[in-house]
Amino acid sequence: MKKSTLAMLCLLMIIISTVSCLAGCKSREQRLNEETEYEETQMKAVREKVIRCIKKDDKEGLKKLFSKSAQKDIEDIDGKIDEVLEAFKGKSIVSIKSEPVDSSRTYDYGKKSITIYGDYTLKLSTKGKCTIFISFCDKNDENPDDKGVFQMELRMFSKEETPKDFSGGAYQDDHGIFIYTLQNYPKK
């Protein structure tokens, strides 16, 4: 009797442990799915605002999307925004193809930071394509002035047209607006 009770107790403990482990894994998976969905939603909203500003030739609207710190750090931000808008003169954006977003999250002594990176191919009315990379800080408890877009890289050529000696553009977390054409791009 004692042996059967002990065996049943051990079996019950194994079942409870297994269920707890599986529930823990599922909650981690759920949390990752929720984070990914959140990041996709946030980046989609930023992308739509950027594209709307480009379509409407809205210099001030585009500038307001940049974080306060990026507005201070980017040399001649007004001139750079003018260059972005000028690149789309006479062209309209017909469609947008997006890649899955990337992100960086930190939790440091209770302070949270979320940076999200988007990569989009824009099909233009002129039958060409270009690529735009948008990096923005969604949250930074330590430096609230960092919240907003801090980098935009516009390549006025498609991924298929990218020159073999193209160096890859800006570093991931540099503040700036970078515009590259087939005649003007950083070489390896």
pLDDT in tens, 61-70: 999 999 999 9
pLDDT in tens, 77-129: 999 999 999 999 999 999 999 888 888 888 888 788 999 999 999 999 988 89
Indicate the range of 3-12, 89-98, 130-139 predicted with least confidence.
Answer: 3-12
Q: What is the pTM of this model?
A: 0.81
CA 19 from centroid of its chain's CA atoms: 36
Share of the chain above pLDDT 90, in %: 55
Residue type, 62: L
pLDDT in tens, 42-54: 999 999 999 999 9
Report the helix count and the strand count for the chain, using DSSP H and E: 4, 6
Residue 164's pLDDT band, with cuts at 50, 70 and 90, is: confident
